[in-house]
Structure 1
Amino acid sequence: MLGAMPVRIHFTTEDMARTRFAESPRPFLELNIALRQLQERSHPTRFETWRRESLRRLSPKVQQLFDLIPSTGWSVGFLGYPAEDIGEALDQIRAMPAAHVRKDVEVWADRNRQRLVPAWTRSLGSDKGLLLELTDVAAHVHQRVIAPYQAGLDALSAADHALRRRQVAHGGLHALLSGLDPRHIKWKPPVLELTMASGADDDIHLSGRGLLLIPSVFGVASPVLGVSAEPQPYLTYPVRRDDTDLVLPPTETARTLSTVPDSLTTLLGHTRAIVLWTVAHHPGCTTTELAHHAGISPASASQHATVLRTAGLTSTVRNQNTAIHTTTSLGSSLLNTTA
């Protein structure tokens, strides 16, 4: 339930100079927000089909993440990294010192005193194998919940980025801050007021660090604030295409979160179907770009691209040492038929 009192972020001149906006959602942070949406029943037009399809594809082990990232309330700190790359975020968690994990879990358990904290979570700081298993579950969930829709999510992010650039060009940072999310974020210079889902009431001073503004497709209900994030605090805001709507229309989100056709997945396998789908939506992409958009490693992207090329569904040309992928007429026909 939305609280009546806001969180107030106080800006200095130095904070204003260092505030910037990200070009696209941070993948692991977006996964954190998406996991909350999976446990909700709100916004049915926007998310219900995606929820149903995603939950059907997930391993029962996803409950571990649900325990640590509930639909409301605090989530464990190390599961909210705003890293630019999903692989980077997963590697950071795998390499995290045990003392850091223990501290984050203790803080999380203290903040959730009114909830029943699962006993298994107390072992995260001392059992490296359990932490690695949890990271593998996070990778699995990203592959099933985010990666199938990456092309559409990228398109929404690009449209939002263009909007924010126009706001800055025409009205400076004041226009950008005023237009982030008028429902939950209000700019009253030099203070940014946030209405949080937790109902938190607090005064935050950025101390010259500024703020990283991060767009989110899944974070439509309320902003997410990372005060202690390094090297810079962050704040999420919902993506939208233009100034005429306060938020992206629900049908637009639902259309973006339509999955790769089941018939194509049955024919090619889940990951390979995503790779073919991604190449079709990003013609001329490099192997590195293909891996990024599909949410897989470059080695996996190269392997699947080779299989698809051998089958005549994609073609690959080389520009110096870079492989560039496009679909063939046969690949396009297959996509059109299964769709």
Structure 2
Amino acid sequence: MVYRIHFTVEDLARTRVWPRSLPLMELGAAVRTLQEPGHGVRFRAWRRHALAGLRPDAAMVLELIRTRRWAPDFLTRAEAGSPEEVLERVRATPRARIRDDLAQAAADRPLPSWTRHLADDRDLFQQLCDSLDHTYRVLLSPHWQRITSNATAEAGMRTRQALAGGLEHLLTVANPRCMRWSAPVLDVALASGLEGDLHLEGRGLLLVPSYFAPRWSAVCTACQPQPVLTYPANSPSDAASFIACPPPPAHDRGAGSSSLAALLGHTRAAVLTSIGEHPGCSTNELARLSGTAPPTASRHAATLRGAGLVRTARHRNTVLHTLTALGANLLDAPRGG
């Protein structure tokens, strides 16, 4: 089954890459990935920790967001904002919207019997919202800061691709397994299994990276000012490591910074920290972030790369720097006196 997105010249001109992740769409991708085996090492540890941390009340969300099935839009809509803001907006969903979204999902598959009362029973709906909050805290919250920072790097890389090869090239390479560009139509295999046509009619398309959708894309057609399409992120950062590994415990970075400087030297520690906070930065960007000259930043980055703490990837004439899993662990590890 294929979903066809029809472009005009105006649509191509207005299509862009969003430098942030969208909380509900990313949560929907994570719920589907949790239920879908076969992603190998990348999600093995994450799935184990997630299943151990989910309470029984998460079942309400898991029953409504299924792999290769249409989910009610109010649970997966493409809304910008912090996760806390977006989750609070879900609680204010009008009853008519709940009914309409449930009816659309029910046309794709039978829904649980308890959903028949969802629009009119506000206590039941608040239970579903509590389930959604809990699912977010277990599946996404520990990784959200890194996901959002890596989305910025992803957008920078994709923008460079579009500038170098044109937007049609970007549409070709963004998700080659499930997206095929045949001008002026983009054929997409969606996570929901939806089949049909979307005519952009001059609005363009907003492309949003997703880290918990290793293969499938998702679409939100009702978004304003333009529809949204997610695609599997392929950031130069070490995305697999922060998804696969449980997050380190919180600690006092102030004390850790002085310890890191004692270990690496102040300048090299500043370079490593800058790369950690701005994954995918170029050498010139790294120099500005760390307060050094470009040759100095390049030299220290090379030393850190030789130590296995930093990875560099070349895109055209630009070198992009990101942490390895070892570098991220060193930067995040608590360091006491």
Q: Normalising by the residue count of structure 1, what TM-score does the alignment of the two structures yield?
A: 0.70
Paired position in structure 1 for 2:29: 33
Paired position in structure 2 for 1:110: 107
Paired position in structure 2 for 1:308: none
Q: Secondary structure at the match of 1:106?
A: helix
Paired position in structure 1 for 2:119: 125
Per the TM alignment, residue 25 of structure 1 is displaced from its structure 2 partner at its CA by 1.6
Q: Secondary structure at the match of 1:335?
A: coil
Paired position in structure 2 for 1:188: 182
Distance in structure 1 (CA, Å) of the matches to 2:114 and 2:193: 29
Paired position in structure 1 for 2:206: 212
Q: Does 1:161 align with 2:158?
A: no
Could you report, residue by residue, the CA deviation over 1:13-59 in whole angstroms, capped at 9, with x for unpaired residues?
22222222110221111001101111121202111110110121122
| Contact preservation (8 Å) 2:43, 2:243 | no
Q: Which amino acid aligns with 1:208?
A: G
Q: Does 1:258 align with 2:257?
A: no
Match of 1:68 among 61, 64, 69: 64
| Contact preservation (8 Å) 1:156, 1:240 | no
Per the TM alignment, residue 255 of structure 1 is displaced from its structure 2 partner at its CA by 4.2
70-79 or 86-95: bigger deviation: 86-95
RMSD: 2.8
Distance in structure 2 (CA, Å) of the matches to 1:71 and 1:188: 27
Paired position in structure 2 for 1:303: none
Q: Which amino acid aligns with 1:99?
A: A
Paired position in structure 2 for 1:137: 131
Could you report, residue by residue, the CA deviation over 1:164-184 in whole angstroms, capped at 9, with x for unpaired residues?
121122123222222211111
Per the TM alignment, residue 254 of structure 1 is displaced from its structure 2 partner at its CA by 4.1
Per the TM alignment, residue 146 of structure 1 is displaced from its structure 2 partner at its CA by 0.8
Q: Does 1:96 align with 2:68?
A: no
Q: Does 1:46 align with 2:42?
A: yes
| Contact preservation (8 Å) 2:256, 2:335 | no
Per the TM alignment, residue 229 of structure 1 is displaced from its structure 2 partner at its CA by 2.9
Q: Which amino acid aligns with 1:108?
A: A
Q: Secondary structure at the match of 2:56?
A: coil
Distance in structure 1 (CA, Å) of the matches to 2:235 and 2:256: 23
Paired position in structure 2 for 1:297: none
Question: How many residues in Structure 1 have an aligned counterpart in Structure 2?
Answer: 263
Among the aligned pairs, what percent are the same residue?
35
1:336–1:141 CA distance, 2 compared to 1 (3 A)? farther
Distance in structure 2 (CA, Å) of the matches to 1:233 and 1:169: 22
Distance in structure 1 (CA, Å) of the matches to 2:98 and 2:124: 11
Distance in structure 2 (CA, Å) of the matches to 1:16 and 1:24: 21
Per the TM alignment, residue 162 of structure 1 is displaced from its structure 2 partner at its CA by 2.0
Q: Which amino acid aligns with 1:185?
A: M
Per the TM alignment, residue 333 of structure 1 is displaced from its structure 2 partner at its CA by 9.7
1:146–1:183 CA distance, 2 compared to 1 (3 A)? same
Matched ranges for 1:18-29 at <5 A: 18-29=14-25
| Contact preservation (8 Å) 1:225, 1:235 | yes
Distance in structure 2 (CA, Å) of the matches to 1:11 and 1:280: 51
Distance in structure 2 (CA, Å) of the matches to 1:333 and 1:32: 28
Q: Secondary structure at the match of 2:186?
A: strand
1:131–1:280 CA distance, 2 compared to 1 (3 A)? farther
Matched ranges for 1:319-334 at <5 A: none
Q: Which amino acid aligns with 1:103?
A: D
Could you report, residue by residue, the CA deviation over 1:239-259 in whole angstroms, capped at 9, with x for unpaired residues?
1135xxxxx9xx851444411
Distance in structure 1 (CA, Å) of the matches to 2:192 and 2:29: 14
Paired position in structure 1 for 2:285: none
Per the TM alignment, residue 334 of structure 1 is displaced from its structure 2 partner at its CA by 7.1
| Contact preservation (8 Å) 2:24, 2:86 | yes
| Contact preservation (8 Å) 2:14, 2:204 | yes
Per the TM alignment, residue 156 of structure 1 is displaced from its structure 2 partner at its CA by 3.0
Q: Which amino acid aligns with 2:157?
A: L
Distance in structure 1 (CA, Å) of the matches to 2:221 and 2:180: 18
Distance in structure 1 (CA, Å) of the matches to 2:114 and 2:332: 49
Q: Secondary structure at the match of 2:165?
A: helix
| Contact preservation (8 Å) 2:71, 2:192 | no
Distance in structure 2 (CA, Å) of the matches to 1:119 and 1:333: 46
Q: Normalising by the residue count of structure 2, what TM-score does the alignment of the two structures yield?
A: 0.70
Q: Which amino acid aligns with 1:335?
A: P
Distance in structure 2 (CA, Å) of the matches to 1:257 and 1:201: 32
198-207 or 89-98: bigger deviation: 198-207
Distance in structure 1 (CA, Å) of the matches to 2:66 and 2:333: 40
Q: Which amino acid aligns with 1:205?
A: H
Per the TM alignment, residue 197 of structure 1 is displaced from its structure 2 partner at its CA by 4.8
Paired position in structure 2 for 1:307: none
Paired position in structure 2 for 1:7: 3
Q: Which 4+ stretches in 1 moved above 3 angstroms?
A: 196-201, 254-257
Distance in structure 1 (CA, Å) of the matches to 2:24 and 2:71: 13
Q: Which amino acid aligns with 1:140?
A: H
| Contact preservation (8 Å) 2:177, 2:215 | no
1:253–1:105 CA distance, 2 compared to 1 (3 A)? same
